[in-house]
Amino acid sequence: MRLGIRRSILALAIAAGAATPVAIQAQATDDWAVSSWGGMLMAGAQEIPMVFHVTRDEDGSLTGTLDVQGVSMPLTTVNAEGSTLTMTFPVPGGGTYVGPTDNSGDALEGTFTQAGQSFPMKLERTEGGAPEPPLRPQEPKGPFPYGVEEVTFANGEAGITLAGTITMPEGEGPFPGAILVSGSGPQDRDETLLGHKPFWVLADHLARQGVAVLRYDDRGIAESEGDFATATSRDFASDALAAVQALAAQPNVAPAEVGIIGHSEGGLVGPMAASQSNSVGFVVMLAGPGVTGLEILTEQGRLINEAAGASSEVTAMNTRIQNALAEIVRDEADPDVAAPLMKAAMQAEFDGLSAELKAAAGEGLSESVIDQTIQQLNTPWFRFFFEYDPRPALESMTAPVLSLIGGKDLQVPYQQNMPEIEAAFSRSGHPDATVRMLPGLNHLFQESETGSPSEYQNIEQTFSPEALDIVSSWIRERFSGTSISDR
């Protein structure tokens, strides 16, 4: 699954190749598909356990859920045709698993595709949920010196109800408050990924420092209502403003001192929301972007491809394709008209590959992969993200703002984004803007060796204590409350 701002839209499946299905006799009914199917997605150096639960609905159709990284999401479609099971799931741009059964009928030898990337993935019949994630030493454990309350709140503009958790410091307050807004991809309230729960660690730290926190499931994920697959960053800003109102209404919270702490795409959402409403008391950008989505994806793809050892030919082609597709998206608003133009642009680039890379790609450059990539890039989220420029929102902000970026972040590189963020605040003459690079930290604010996403899972640390202290100290310096003390 994607981590923070999405990885390069192609980051091509050339190195991954594709599984070769075993031919078996077609099956007469789809009863065989009703089961739990578990496996490990090997995405580069990352190992991500997943379990698909396929059940039969009351009307007789197949339905199900996907358990991944602590999140259970409904499957959009489930189809068992002959001996092949096809499942789609609601992430921006869409995700798909297509798996023919093997000779035993108890395993699927298929392909997992998301955001233009395809990986061979074997699923086997299993019982129960996804394997337990590795232990993380920073994950909070009770008893807690603060209150924990499960809540729901309405986003009246969207007509949905969101679900989350409030951590409230001890005492009468009034306390400053923080809304936590996650990075891209379907995220629960803890921003759970690869066994880490960064938002749970952050909320625990802030509550101990006298800051009330509301963290919530993304719309359409876990216990929150709404349609995640069709949402854009602007929709997530609307959700964040609803969360600000909900936390500000708490009796122990100072209404004027409720701000937004956003990670990655959430670092884009925070300034967007603050530029729309003066109810946002402050903004903390954790790896928030300072340039357009296209610029982010291009540089991100280059750095991650280089870290993964990709050839200069693949990296250069990836950049050309991104630019070509973004230009088509920008010039053609109708996805149906844009699709054949995008397909022609991608095919022209693939045709120019060397024979060696074409052979390595195998089915990774098949027509079905091209069509899947085009479908994903034509979604509302990608269309919005490609073109959205965060600089006007940064310039219009007047609330205090703290921007932190890791020195080894390959997904939102500080060399590209920090100068633009600083320049935006300089142009507006912002009275209270702090921009810092934290050496040695990656996109998740872990202490890391290279910053490559392949390290995320293997690092025991969830969130750098230095970064946690910087955030809480910055808030405390501006919003003292009445009962803040070290706990």
Q: Give, for 168, the enclosing helix (H) or strand (E).
A: strand 160-169
At 91 the pLDDT is 64
The 10s digit of each residue's pLDDT in 371-409 is: 767 877 788 888 899 889 999 999 999 999 999 999 999
Q: Would you place residue 116 in the very low, low, confident or very high pLDDT band (cuts 50, 70, 90)?
A: low
**Residue 19 predicted with pLDDT over 60:** no
**Residue 77 predicted with pLDDT over 60:** yes
For residues 38 and 298, which has the higher predicted lDDT (pLDDT)?
Answer: 38
Lowest mean pLDDT among 109-123, 274-288, 290-304: 109-123
For residues 270-285, b (16+ Cβ closer than 10 Å) or e, as one string? bbbbbbbeebbbbbbb
The residue-averaged pLDDT of 98-115 equals 82
DSSP 57-106: -TTS-EEEEEEETTEEEE-SEEEEETTEEEEEE-STT-EEEEEEB-TTSS
At 10 the pLDDT is 37
Structure tokens at 19: 């599984």
Lowest mean pLDDT among 98-112, 205-219, 442-456: 98-112
Count of alpha carbons within 13 angstroms of residue 63, beta-carbon side: 8
Place of tokens 């969207």: 158
The 10s digit of each residue's pLDDT in 213-260 is: 999 999 999 899 999 988 999 999 999 999 999 999 999 999 999 999
Domain spans, the chain = 31-126, 146-291+389-478
**Residue 341 predicted with pLDDT over 70:** yes
Place of tokens 């996805």: 335
Cβ atoms of 363 and 17 within 8 Å: the answer is yes
The residue-averaged pLDDT of 291-310 equals 81
At 318 the pLDDT is 77
**Residue 359 predicted with pLDDT over 70:** no
Domains 31-126 and 146-291+389-478 share a fold: no
Mean pLDDT of the chain: 84
> CA-CA distance, 20 to 11, in Å (whole number)?
22
Lowest mean pLDDT among 75-79, 288-292, 418-422: 75-79
**Residue 3 predicted with pLDDT over 50:** no
At 471 the pLDDT is 98
> CA-CA distance, 108 to 38, in Å (whole number)?
10
At 43 the pLDDT is 65
Fold exhibited by the domain 31-126: Lipocalin (2.40.128)
Task: Kindly tell me the burial class for residue 351, based on how many C-beta atoms sit within 10 Å of its own C-beta (0-12, 13-18, 19 or more).
Answer: exposed
At 290 the pLDDT is 97
Lowest mean pLDDT among 131-140, 286-295, 436-445, 451-460: 131-140
The 10s digit of each residue's pLDDT in 404-446 is: 999 999 999 999 999 999 999 999 999 999 999 999 999 999 9
For residues 221 and 115, which has the higher predicted lDDT (pLDDT)?
Answer: 221
5: left (phi over 0), alpha (psi -120 to 50) or beta: beta
Q: Give, for 46, the enclosing helix (H) or strand (E).
A: strand 46-56
At 14 the pLDDT is 27
Sign of the Cα torsion 296, 298, 304, 307 reads negative
- Work out the angle at residue 115's Cα, subtended by the Cα atoms of residues 420 and 82, and round it to the nearest 5 degrees: 175
Q: Would you place residue 347 in the very low, low, confident or very high pLDDT band (cuts 50, 70, 90)?
A: confident
**Residue 307 predicted with pLDDT over 80:** no
The CATH homologous superfamily of the domain defined by 146-291+389-478: Alpha/Beta hydrolase fold, catalytic domain (3.40.50.1820)
At 242 the pLDDT is 98
Q: Would you place residue 95 in the very low, low, confident or very high pLDDT band (cuts 50, 70, 90)?
A: confident
The residue-averaged pLDDT of 132-148 equals 87
For residues 463 and 317, which has the higher predicted lDDT (pLDDT)?
Answer: 463
At 398 the pLDDT is 94
Collapsed DSSP state (helix, strand, coil) of residue 487: coil
**Residue 101 predicted with pLDDT over 60:** yes
**Residue 24 predicted with pLDDT over 50:** no
The residue-averaged pLDDT of 113-142 equals 77
**Residue 4 predicted with pLDDT over 80:** no
The 10s digit of each residue's pLDDT in 152-196 is: 999 999 999 999 999 999 998 899 999 999 998 888 999 988 779
At 184 the pLDDT is 87
Residues 6+ apart with CB under 8 A from 344: none
At 186 the pLDDT is 84
Lowest mean pLDDT among 300-314, 335-349, 389-403: 300-314
- For a pLDDT cut of 70, what percent of the chain falls above it? 85
For residues 4 and 22, which has the higher predicted lDDT (pLDDT)?
Answer: 4
